Every structure is written in C-alpha cells, then in structure tokens.
Amino acid sequence: MSLLAGPRTGTGRPTMDESTLAPSGALGHARLPVLASGEGLNADQPVVQNPAEVLAALMDFPGSVALAELLESAPSTVARPENAFDLGERLMEDVAARLSTLEPLALKPLLGRRAHSVPVVEELSAALQRHGLLTERSEAAVQKLADELGEPFRQALSTCLRQAQAHVATLRWEVAHDIRALGPTADKLERIDAAVTRSMQAKLGDLFDRMEQAAHATFVRAATHAVMALPEQPHAEDLAAWVDEDGWIARYRERCVRMARALFSHMRRNLEGLVRAAARAEGV
C-alpha cells in the first residue's frame, strides 16, 4: 500500500517517544557513552568535567607557554586616561549593541529565509521508497535515510557554529585596542585573554566537529525509532506525525537552533565579561 494512502482508522497516529531526542541532555553530549569503567557508572549519562581541565585540554602547548610568559611579564606601561569611566561605559554599550546585531547573522543558516525547512510528507514518502524501507527496514537503509534527511540540518548547524565563532572573534579583534586603551590593568587583561584565545584556535574546529557528530547521532537515533515504529502499511498521517510542529524532525531542528544560540551566547558572555572586567578594573 502506498505511503500516501487514505487516513488510517483506529486510535490515531503514533507519537514519538520523547527519549529519542535525549531531552535530558544537551546535543553536545548527545548521550555519548562514558569512556570509563566502574561500578555505578551510567553509560547514557554525560560526563561532567572540571572547567579548568576542559580549558587545559583545549589549549595547545605554545599557547600555554605564551600565557605563562605573559603572566610573568612586567606591568603594563599604558597610561589610564582621565575619561576612562566614560570610555568604558561607551565601549560596553557599543559591544553589546554590535553583538545583538551579529546574533541573527550567525543563526541565519538555521533561521534565515533560505534555511532548510522541515520536509513535507511527500518528500518523506519518496525518501522511504528510495531507500527501500517499505519492504525491508534494515539498519543500513535507515542510516542512509537519516543521513539524507539530517545532512541539511547538519550543514546548517556547522555553518552557524563557525559563523558565531568568526563574528565574535572579528568583533573581539576590532575592540582590542579600545580595551587596552582603558588603562594598564585593562591592557593586561586583554593581552591575557588574547593569549588564551589564540591557544585554543587549533582545537576549536575539532570541538565543533564533535558537536555536529553528537547532534547527528541524536538525529539517527530518532530516525531509527520513527522508522521502526511505522506500521507495515504506513499512511500519510504516520509521516505527518514526523513533521508536525511537535514532531521529532521539527524538535530536532529547534534543538540545533538552541545549540547554535547557546554557543553564540557563551561567546557573547565571554566578550562582554572581558570588556566589563577591563572597564571596572580602571574605575568604571
């Protein structure tokens, strides 16, 4: 029977199991197995790491050496201007305003007019037929379906993560001189922050790759559950449940948006925190 046959009779269309989208964990974790052994460990629970350990793991060795040398260097010779208070206030306002403008640009691949939308029922039906999932629901076929349906979201998420990093990094570079000009303490803080940032650049790409892989693993699990939950003779309403506003594909897309927004918000807090700390250190 065609996937687009008439409405089913019965109690109604099936609903997705919320656990297939790992609602209790972030996409960055994606419920990856704990790579450790021991009594009482839950293999479905994200590992909680010490922030200092995470920072050390992200910094490369030359960057660590450069930071150590900077911490031991002589005090800054930058003179604190008489209007440091006003300069700091204006800089905080300017950075906040520019970050607010950059956020929608960073999220455009997922939320813009040309962003990939949730597929319609006819597209899902064609994809199931194309991968032979009407006659045999093999793991390999489900994987191919998940890769096809999830790849546009994966690419959009990848672009958003990297655009968020690039936009904030560009703004950070543009205001570096203004931060240092606030006074000697601000100058030292900016240089320390810059050294830490440079030491992490080489590994940021790997971090983003892992975030994307974890997100896609969540999509594959949800797709597998959805396909296996289909009746032997699926109807259009079975697939409509996939693409409803509360369907698993729409929920996955929303989680990608939240993931990209969370990264931008994290980087925004870092930059605003640096500017605020530098301004207050000089009496603002």
Three-class SS of the chain: CCCCCCCCCCCCCCCCCHHHHCCCCCCCCCCCCCCCCCCCCCCCCCCCCCHHHHHHHHCCHHHHHHHHHHHCCCCCCCCCCCCHHHHHHHHHHHHHHHHHHHHHHHCHHHHCCCCCCCCCHHHHHHHHHHCCCCCCCCHHHHHHHHHHHHHHHHHHHHHHHHHHHHHHHHHHHHCHHHHHCCCHHHHHHHHHHHHHHHHHHHHHHHHHHHHHHHHHHHHHHHHHHHHHCCCCCCCHHHHHHHHCCCCHHHHHHHHHHHHHHHHHHHHHHHHHHHHHHHHHHCCC
Question: Residue 171: pLDDT band by 50, 70, 90 thresholds?
Answer: very high
Q: Considering the entire predicted model, what is its pTM? A: 0.75
pLDDT digits over 64-120, tens only?
666 666 666 667 778 888 898 899 999 999 999 999 999 999 999 999 998 988 889
Segments making up each domain of the chain, as ranges: 50-72+81-281
Rounded percentage of the chain residues whose pLDDT exceeds 70: 73
- Angle between helix axes 248-281 and 236-243 (nearest 10 degrees) is 0
